[in-house]
């Protein structure tokens, strides 16, 4: 069942006519996309369509060749990634941010220390600073019982949940997730989907994610943007995207194999 859509509101992130060239190659070609507050928005498309590049332009990892990125009213096209994080845009989990030699609980404490700019002996954790807040964040992603385990010992799904807790330590308004359920079992996917849905519904966090599992996308996204060869092909509700013949042609395949 598709999640109920949030009521329309001004975009929290707007990407306007963005192009990203690598040498002569156009990874993004005049792409515009808006993310609403509290929205779960999926970007889908074949490999090489430009999905990760688009997330990297929004997180600040890449500076676009043309076009602009706004966060609310603020133009952030040239704002570096760490400042975007401070503004409330949490980066994707593609690059793992876990310290394997610290416990799960200490990992979240460190994230809270870093976020608060509290640099007093960051690696001498007494176990006290932000202890309760760290516990609360772990509970929110349902791994409170794993606090004493070492970060490096976690299975893939638990690791992903710890990464969520670390991202949430920054109290983000926007979460950018590049294939958040890649390599997970069905049960682990369900947990991640549940976390994404509750962040959107209960905390009004906007989630922009890429995903290969089309069923997961159509069941959970409020809106979907379909990318193809660096261009935005279609943007709309799951129902609109599902019935768009262009999507069937270029992405979902024709005939009996069409997955929607």
Ligand X SMILES: Nc1ncnc2c1ncn2[C@@H]1O[C@H](COP(=O)(O)OP(=O)(O)O)[C@@H](O)[C@H]1O
Q: Which positions touch Mg ion (CB under 5 A)? A: 51-52
58 binds ligand X (CB under 6 A): no
Provide the pairing of β-strand 206-210 with 174-178.
Answer: parallel
Of 73-92, binders to ligand X (CB under 6 A) are: none
Among 40, 49, 217, 250, binds ligand X (CB under 6 A): 49
22 binds ligand X (CB under 6 A): yes
Residue with tokens 């994404």: 196
* 99 to 47, 89, 150: CA distances (angstroms): 30, 21, 9
| Token pair for 31 | 């792409």
88 and 172 in contact (C-beta within 8 Å)?
Answer: yes
Distance CA 27, CA 48 (A): 8
- Give the binding range for ligand X (CB under 6 A) out of 47-55, 116-124, 149-157, 241-249: 47-55
Q: Which does 45 bind (CB under 5 to 8 A by kind): Mg ion, ligand X, none?
A: ligand X
To the nearest whole angstrom, how small is the minimum distance from the Cβ of residue 93 to Mg ion?
13
Closer to ligand X by CB, 52 or 200: give it: 52
- Give the binding range for ligand X (CB under 6 A) out of 41-49, 155-163, 194-202, 231-239: 41-49
Residue with tokens 């640099």: 119
Site size toward ligand X, by CB under 6 A: 11
Strand partners, 90: 175
Among 13, 15, 18, 27, binds ligand X (CB under 6 A): 27
Among 14, 52, 109, 220, binds ligand X (CB under 6 A): 52
Among 38, 42, 45, 112, binds ligand X (CB under 6 A): 45
18 binds ligand X (CB under 6 A): no
Which class for 144: exposed (0-12), middle (13-18), buried (19 or more C-beta within 10 A)?
middle
At residue 58, the 3 state secondary structure works out as helix
Distance CA 93, CA 75 (A): 24
- Give the binding range for ligand X (CB under 6 A) out of 51-59, 81-89, 193-201, 211-219: 51-59
Q: Which does 12 bind (CB under 5 to 8 A by kind): Mg ion, ligand X, none?
A: none
CA neighbours closer than 13 Å in the CB half-sphere of residue 76: 27
Distance CA 184, CA 162 (A): 14
Strand partners, 4: none
To the nearest whole angstrom, how small is the minimum distance from the Cβ of residue 55 to ligand X?
8
Contact code string over 173-212 relative to ligand X, x by CB under 6 A: ----------------------------------------
Q: Which residue is nearest to Mg ion (CB)?
A: 52
To the nearest whole angstrom, how small is the minimum distance from the Cβ of residue 47 to Mg ion?
7
Distance CA 165, CA 106 (A): 12
Distance CA 61, CA 54 (A): 10
Residues making contact with ligand X (CB under 6 A): 22, 25, 27, 45, 47-53
């Amino acid at each position: 069942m598709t999640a109920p859509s949030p009521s329309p509101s001004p975009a929290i992130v707007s990407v306007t006519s963005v192009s990203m060239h690598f040498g002569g190659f156009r990874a993004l070609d005049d792409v515009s996309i808006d993310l609403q507050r509290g929205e779960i928005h999926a970007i889908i498309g074949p490999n090489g369509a430009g999905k990760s590049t688009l997330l990297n332009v929004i997180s600040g990892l890449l500076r676009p060749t043309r076009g602009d990125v706004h966060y609310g009213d603020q133009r952030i096209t040239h704002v570096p990634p760490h400042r975007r994080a401070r503004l409330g845009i949490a980066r994707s989990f593609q690059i793992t941010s876990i310290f394997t030699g610290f416990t799960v609980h200490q990992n979240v404490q460190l994230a809270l220390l870093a976020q608060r700019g509290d640099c007093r002996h960051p690696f001498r954790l007494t176990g006290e600073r932000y202890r309760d807040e760290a516990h609360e964040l772990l509970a929110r992603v349902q791994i409170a019982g794993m606090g004493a385990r070492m970060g490096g010992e976690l299975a893939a799904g638990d690791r992903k949940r710890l990464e969520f807790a670390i991202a949430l330590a920054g109290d983000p308004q926007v979460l950018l997730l590049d294939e958040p359920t890649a390599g997970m079992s069905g049960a682990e996917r369900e947990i991640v989907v549940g976390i994404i849905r509750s962040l959107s519904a209960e905390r009004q966090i906007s989630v922009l994610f890429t995903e290969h599992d089309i069923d997961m996308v159509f069941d959970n996204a409020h809106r979907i943007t379909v990318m193809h060869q660096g261009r935005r092909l279609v943007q709309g509700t799951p129902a609109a995207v599902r019935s768009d013949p262009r999507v069937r042609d270029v992405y979902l395949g024709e005939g009996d194999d069409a997955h929607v």
